[in-house]
Amino acid sequence: MFYKKYLVIIPGIILAFVLYTLSQGFNNIIGIELMGYTKSPISTAMIAILLGMFFGNIFKIRDSLQQGLDFTRDYLLKLGIICLGIQLKPFEFLEFGKIAIPLILICIISVLIIIKLLIKILKIPTRMAYLISIGSTVCGTTAIMATAPVIKANKNEVSYAIANITLFGILSMLLYPYFANIYFNGEPLLIGLFLGTSIHETSQVAAAGLIYEQQFNSPETLNIATVTKLIRNTFLIIMIPLFAILYNRGQTRVKNYSLINIFPYFVLGFIGMIILRNVGDEIYTYNPNWSEIVDIIKLFSKIFLTMAMAAIGLSTNLKDIKSMGYKPFIVGFLAMLTVGIVSIIAIESYLKFFI
């Protein structure tokens, strides 16, 4: 009887995995075959949620599949976030971090202040605003999906926020490399910092850096942008508990509230994976097996997160999203502008002292 309890989730998990496979295939066709890149600049996760929303709104999802999709959305998501920590090597970023971290902090604080004001002006749901703000300031879709269970956001709010971040992330990915080259006079450090702090998704930052490298022959810019974004991603550890405190503090229904009760414990797994990576790199520096293990964990992180995206898409009703109105998109657009403008101001007024 015990195993039957878990057999019911298998069909939904398989469906999510099938959509992941389809998304990866479409990504390779579009990014590599059609666009001519050696590695596709398009986010597989973005394709997965779009495919999920497409099929989920054409066909009715059976109850036999929904349990597995819920499991994927809740638990495989968290496992994917934990595995994501293996790609972060903060001890290597210390020298560069003294320049990048203050800039990242300024951008995060500025966007949070702007969105806090917009919540009151536009009267949009608090959970929606929190999802958009953390997606804009930290690491896009991953941050949204990690924060959603902490503030009890429903699947439609998550999908709306992801659609918001995806739209403006793609827009900035395509425009910012050319804008930054003109504005910063081709200076690789300044351009890399700008791309790494002003674009939402890690994949979008990498794509923008790749576009810049290919257009202006500057691999240094791609490296700086990527490192800046990875440092920015580590702020997920701080921002999730912070948002949990801010959100639940205002909830009158929460009794005996404490950080222990709402702390997202999977973040501890995320931190543990970062520590494991750094310890492993020290002990097994010249061991090729360790590098293979790291690559496998990275792959599983990508698979689990993309499967969770597909599950969210399949469970999303577009009619419900439409009923939320246009105001959250105004917030997303203003968040994008705020991050970009604050990044420029900070670079101009502060970072030039270090160059």
pLDDT of residue 91: 58
pLDDT at 297: 92
Q: Please answer whether residues 307 and 100 qualify as being in contact, where contact means their C-beta atoms are separated by less than 8 angstroms.
A: no
What CA–CA distance (Å, rounded) separates 352 from 343? 13
Q: Tell me, what amino acid is at 147?
A: T
Q: What is the mean pLDDT of the chain?
A: 80
Q: Which amino acid is at 294?
A: V
pLDDT at 5 (0 to 100): 64
Structure-derived torsion over alpha carbons of residues 71, 75, 79, 81, reported in degrees to the nearest 10: 110
Q: What is the pLDDT of residue 257?
A: 43
Q: Check residue 254 and give its pLDDT.
A: 45
Give tens-digit pLDDT for 123-158.
777 788 888 888 888 878 778 877 887 788 887 788
- pLDDT tens track for 49-104: 888 888 988 888 887 888 899 899 878 888 887 887 787 665 555 566 677 888 88
Residue 181, pLDDT score? 93
Q: Report DSSP letters for 220-247, one per residue.
A: HHHHHHHHHHHHHHTTHHHHHHHHHHHH
As a whole number of angstroms, the distance between CA 228 and CA 231 comes to 5
Predicted TM-score (pTM) of the model is: 0.66
d(CA 133, CA 214): 31
Q: What is the pLDDT of residue 255?
A: 46
Task: Say whether 85 sits in a helix, a strand or coil.
Answer: helix
**Cα 57 to Cα 301: distance, rounded to the nearest angstrom:** 27
Q: Are 103 and 346 contacting, i.e. CB atoms less than 8 angstroms apart?
A: yes
CA-based nearest residue to 344, from 191, 240, 213: 191
> What's the pLDDT score for residue 256?
47
Q: In angstroms, rounded to a whole number, what is the distance separating the alpha carbons of residues 281 and 264?
A: 27
Separation of alpha carbons 232 and 100, rounded Å: 9
Q: Are 232 and 238 in contact (CB under 8 A)?
A: no
Counting Cβ atoms within 10 Å, is residue 316 exposed (0-12), middle (13-18) or buried (19+)?
A: buried
The terminus-to-terminus CA distance of the chain in angstroms comes to: 66
Both tokens of residue 236?
């997920």
Torsion sign over Cα 171, 177, 178, 182:
positive
φ and ψ at 187, to 5 degrees? -80, 115
DSSP-based three-state secondary structure for 324:
coil
- d(C-alpha 337, C-alpha 204), whole Å: 16
Q: In angstroms, how far is CA 215 from the centroid of its own chain? A: 26
Residue 194, token pair as written in the block: 């700008």
Low-confidence ranges of the chain (pLDDT < 70): 1-5, 39, 41-43, 88-97, 203, 248-265, 267, 320-324, 350-355
